[in-house]
Chains A and B, each alone.
Chain A
Amino acid sequence: MVDLSVNLGGIRLDNPIIPASGTYGFGYEFSELYDINILGSISLKGTTKEPRFGNPLPRIAECREGMINSVGLQNPGVEKVISEEIPKLRQCFNKKAIANVGGFSLDEYTYNCEKLGEVPEIGIIEVNISCPNVHAGGMSFGTDAKNAAEVTRRVKAVTNKPVFIKLSPNVTDIVEIAKACEDAGADGLTLINTLMGMKIDLKTRKPVIFNKKGGFSGPAIFPVAIRMIYDVYEAVKIPIMGVGGVATAENVIEMMLAGATAVQVGAANLTEPYVCKNIIEELPALCEKYKIEKLSDIIGGAH
């Protein structure tokens, strides 16, 4: 019997599989498809203080082995997430979830983290300082080491829950920012968010996406994620939630070898709604194939 469990920031997960924020809503809709209690955890839809519709349509474009989105953090706002969405999730999910927090200012990040940190169903706070689809705030906090550290410090001061900072790949040196977050007290890191991308329609000669640019995700970015996780793992001691292009159980093992303690599955949920279930079911046999008795033993094994 292969042991799939991992310890993420002091929380024991039955397995390392976590649907990534923005690809799984607030979880309960996938419970119509399968028992979502099989998951390690769920990273919930990015939450801001005020309700947001997000960006104008079209906000989806298809690319080779991936897609561009410019949804722009559509969400009902932190109050409704706590009063309506999380109670719906509670009906079908009995494990701790991960709150994904967006923001446009230091005060907003702090406010949202404090509120969501008080919710008993939330085990980890994931702070998104890397959304490419909002003009103010969002990624601008994630592309500068000083700003990233400041967000981390402020958020850590208002919650006792483990804080993971979700980093942008759209930077010159992700390691510098990762270290700044660790030094500022982050309990862990999530990487990578989407890569900035663009698609132009040959017939209209215009960008497909209304906002012109968006976040590129899907299997095409997997090697980029592996490289960045590998580099950051070398430089920090705190755990990493790996994310970026994961679509198979093999991808999960590769990402853990690079240095991920847990692995988020993102865009694949949108094209293969059963992908997380399939990966969890395939992992034991794959571990046997690669002679892995305890999955957590392989974390960072490629170093």
Chain B
Amino acid sequence: MKQSLFDIVSNKKIARDIYEMVLYGDTSDLVRPGQFINIKLDGLFLRRPISVCDYDDKTITIIYKVVGEGTEKMSKMDGGKLDILTGLGNGFDIEKSGDKPLLIGGGVGVPPMFNLCRKLIENGKDVTVIMGFMSQEDVFYKTEFEKLGAKVYVTTNDGTEGIKGFVTDAMKEIEAYTYFYTCGPEPMLKGVYDASKTSGELSFEARMGCGFGACMGCSCETKYGNKRICKDGPVLKKEEIIW
């Protein structure tokens, strides 16, 4: 974990209530896709944990949905600096992917799939991505994933784009995959867990206090004992989850 100041390079709306923010600063503590950062905002006591969509040696891209006071504040930012804790959480294990990994993201669970997808393709993997949204106006990053070289399926609950239904409906169309990675709302994670035919990794959300393992606010029980979503997660292996 590292605490440092980041410059806001850009902050733009990319779908309904969805914003993409690019930050410039010290990214040296980010070591795996699926990690998150924790952002201090003026006037709010707790930091806001946001998953990392993409990063390189100088910039971090985050995608967030305006759901409350903190993200509302963030959506109005135009330049300036942010006090951020970086390098939080365990992230995904890309070594486990096999040759044909399946990535499944739902809503703001899509962003952590992006850097993961980039890394897997760089490693020569044949990546398929399923992105689930409520409706067409919620869809983002489809072409960005395609540009990385992934095969992309979009699902919308109302059928206004792609396959009508849930991500699990798209999973039925994928004949074979070697491993899966997923992030999204918990009912979706459970659906993916039940529908999955291989081992895999699931990234969970939780209401956090500190974001770095000190407060025990986001603990969960697993088959291998109590784990903190923020520090021992947010990524849990399929085999350890107790629903």
A283 vs B102: C-alpha distance when bound (angstroms): 54
Chain B residues with CB below 8 A from A29, complex form: 212-214, 231
Segment with Cβ contacts to B, from A7-15, A57-65, A90-98, A254-262: A57-65
**Residue in contact with A59 in the complex, picked from B1, B214, B217, CB distance below 8 Å:** B217
Taking the closest CB of chain A, its distance from the CB of B183, in whole angstroms, is: 18
| B residues whose Cβ falls under 8 Å from a Cβ of A | 1, 3, 40, 44-47, 85, 206-210, 212-221, 226, 231
Question: With A23-B214, A58-B207 as given contacts, are A67 and B45 in contact (CB-CB < 8 Å)?
Answer: yes
Taking the closest CB of chain A, its distance from the CB of B149, in whole angstroms, is: 37
Q: Which of A63-77 contact B (CB under 8 A)?
A: 63-67, 69, 71, 74
**Residue in contact with B210 in the complex, picked from A54, A62, A208, A273, CB distance below 8 Å:** A273
**Residue in contact with B206 in the complex, picked from A57, A63, A271, CB distance below 8 Å:** A57
6 nearest CB pairs, A to B? A270-B210, A60-B217, A58-B207, A60-B209, A74-B216, A62-B46
Q: Is the CB of A60 within 8 A of B213?
A: no
Q: Is A1 an interface residue (CB 8 A)?
A: no
27 A-B pairs with CB atoms under 8 Å apart are: A22-B215, A29-B214, A45-B216, A53-B219, A53-B226, A57-B206, A57-B217, A57-B219, A60-B207, A60-B209, A61-B207, A62-B45, A62-B46, A66-B45, A67-B45, A69-B209, A69-B215, A71-B216, A71-B219, A74-B216, A74-B226, A267-B45, A269-B210, A270-B210, A271-B46, A273-B85, A274-B3
Q: Is the CB of A270 within 8 A of B209?
A: yes
**Residue in contact with B219 in the complex, picked from A45, A54, A66, CB distance below 8 Å:** A54
Q: Is the CB of B221 within 8 A of A53?
A: yes
Chain A residues with CB below 8 A from B206, complex form: 57-58
Nearest residue (CB) in B for A52 is: B226
How many residues belonging to A are interface residues under a CB distance threshold of 8 Å? 34
Given contacts A30-B214, A57-B219, A273-B210, 15 further A-B contacts (CB under 8 A): A54-B219, A57-B207, A57-B217, A57-B218, A58-B207, A59-B207, A61-B207, A62-B45, A69-B215, A267-B45, A269-B210, A271-B45, A271-B47, A273-B212, A273-B214
Q: Is the CB of A25 within 8 A of B214?
A: yes
**Residue in contact with A60 in the complex, picked from B40, B208, B220, B221, CB distance below 8 Å:** B208
A74 vs B47: C-alpha distance when bound (angstroms): 22
Nearest residue (CB) in A for B213 is: A29
Taking the closest CB of chain A, its distance from the CB of B65, in whole angstroms, is: 14
A208 vs B210: C-alpha distance when bound (angstroms): 17
Question: With A57-B207, A62-B44 as given contacts, are A273 and B1 in contact (CB-CB < 8 Å)?
Answer: yes
Q: Which of A10-36 contact B (CB under 8 A)?
A: 22-25, 29-30, 32-33
